[in-house]
Amino acid sequence: MTDPVTATPDSDLRPRFWENVPLEDLSKPEWEALCDRCGRCCLLKLEDADTQEIEFTNVSCRLFDGATSSCGNYALRKQLVKDCVVLSPENISRIAYWMPVTCAYRLLFEGRTLFDWHPLVSGRADSVFEAGISMHDRVIPEYEINEDDLEDHIIEGMA
């Protein structure tokens, strides 16, 4: 078996950094490499104002590209979508609770480890899709539904 870290093309990544480097001490490339490109954080969510319980829907942000399971304009996302949250080591403590339970940032923030299908562990980007985690071709863009119908699009197992 190939060491997944060695297989990672970005040589700036320290060996198995996700296991031994705190989130606040990660380099920019390491922080970015944590994202598995699942696209789940780009889904619209419903939050109970009293309990803070989160429900995910299969409706995506208008910038999300379902064909590639990634943001259609990552560099300008905050300018184009004012509600977009740019995750960082500084705000993870406030945001982790509404990230998907499979999200690498949430897992590490909560003291857990990455799943075997994470590309840093498997050494392959396709493992996210094979594990059924990717939202590739599984979403409806927000501009194709009526906002009042969002509850009809709730999906289980993400929060």
Residues near ligand SF4 (CB under 6 A) are 35-41, 99-100, 103-105
What's the min distance (Å) between Cβ of 47 and ligand SF4?
16
SS3 at position 99: coil
The b/e string for 64-81 (b: 16+ C-beta within 10 A; e otherwise) is bbbeebbbbeeeebeeeb
What gap in Å lies between CA 130 and CA 156, rounded to an integer? 19
What's the min distance (Å) between Cβ of 100 and ligand SF4?
5
Rank residues 5 and 42 by Cβ distance to ligand SF4 and give the closer one: 42
SS3 at position 126: helix
What's the min distance (Å) between Cβ of 38 and ligand SF4?
4
Rank residues 125 and 149 by Cβ distance to ligand SF4 and give the closer one: 125
Q: Which backbone phi and psi does 71 adopt, to 5 degrees?
A: -70, 135
Pick left, alpha or beta for residue 52 (phi over 0 → left; psi -120 to 50 → alpha; otherwise beta).
left
Rank residues 68 and 149 by Cβ distance to ligand SF4 and give the closer one: 68
What's the min distance (Å) between Cβ of 144 and ligand SF4?
21
Rank residues 5 and 135 by Cβ distance to ligand SF4 and give the closer one: 135
What's the min distance (Å) between Cβ of 5 and ligand SF4?
18
3-state secondary structure 35-84: CCCCCHHHEEEEECCCCCCEEEEEEECCCEECCCCEECCCCCHHHHCCCC
Rank residues 5 and 128 by Cβ distance to ligand SF4 and give the closer one: 128
